[in-house]
Chain A
């Protein structure tokens, strides 16, 4: 089983608050990803990283930002949460080779009131 951890598991927060979703993996994977998924819907890539100090925006525009200072850590930050940010955020990692499968964390279910 993959060792990738996300905290918190659930978060309810008021509009305007700054939040950081944590994601850590212990597999030494070079590539890490953030996906946004509404319940029962498709996954949308919002950020990815191919290694330390590498971050790219995904296919879905997002007001969040990410950083990759250490290989194992890929936090996602929302400076000012809004109700439209309510969703599930899934972190994933994979080895560096081209067609490596993704290992997902359990996700953070965010509700912005």
Chain B
């Protein structure tokens, strides 16, 4: 079945450093969504990418959808302690309309 993998699984950074998580799907996606889950919280929708090669920005966060629509990335510039949490990508496509969540990347930011 369709699989969505994320790397790295964990990332510890010093506050002010940049951070990137990569999301790879085994099948071509029609769209990809990104969610953030704070420790002890629930996933919260951040953004959706639909077009091949699409790039979207939210303040210090930059999201990219690959040309082949099989991978995506989230880049955070100059991390802050408020960025702590687990970032999940979620893809939709193939022969199903179900949203398949990635394995997640847990980000820890040290002050």
Contacts and interface: CB of A to CB of B under 8 A. Distances in A.
A41 interface: yes
Nearest to B97: A98
A41 B92 contact: no
A38 to B, nearest CB: 11
Contact of B43 (A58, A90, A99): A90
Interface in B13-46: 30-31, 33, 35, 41-45
Nearest to A105: B42
Nearest to B101: A43
Contacts of A105: 42
Interface in A35-92: 35, 40-43, 45, 48, 58-59, 90
Nearest first, the 5 closest Cβ-Cβ pairs linking A and B are A101-B45, A104-B42, A43-B101, A99-B31, A42-B103
Interface of A: 35, 40-43, 45, 48, 58-59, 90, 98-99, 101-107
B68 to A, nearest CB: 18
A102 B42 contact: no
Contacts of B35: 102
Contacts of A45: 98-99, 101
Nearest to A4: B42
Given A42-B102, A103-B45, A106-B42, A98 B92 contact: yes
Given A99-B31, A102-B45, A102-B99, 7 more contacts: A40-B106, A41-B104, A99-B33, A99-B50, A101-B45, A102-B35, A102-B90
A107 B42 contact: yes
A40 to B, nearest CB: 6
B86 interface: yes
Contacts of A58: 98
A101 B102 CA distance: 15
Contacts of B88: 42-43
B92 A99 contact: yes
A30 to B, nearest CB: 13
Nearest to B35: A102
Given A48-B98, A99-B31, A104-B42, A40 B92 contact: no
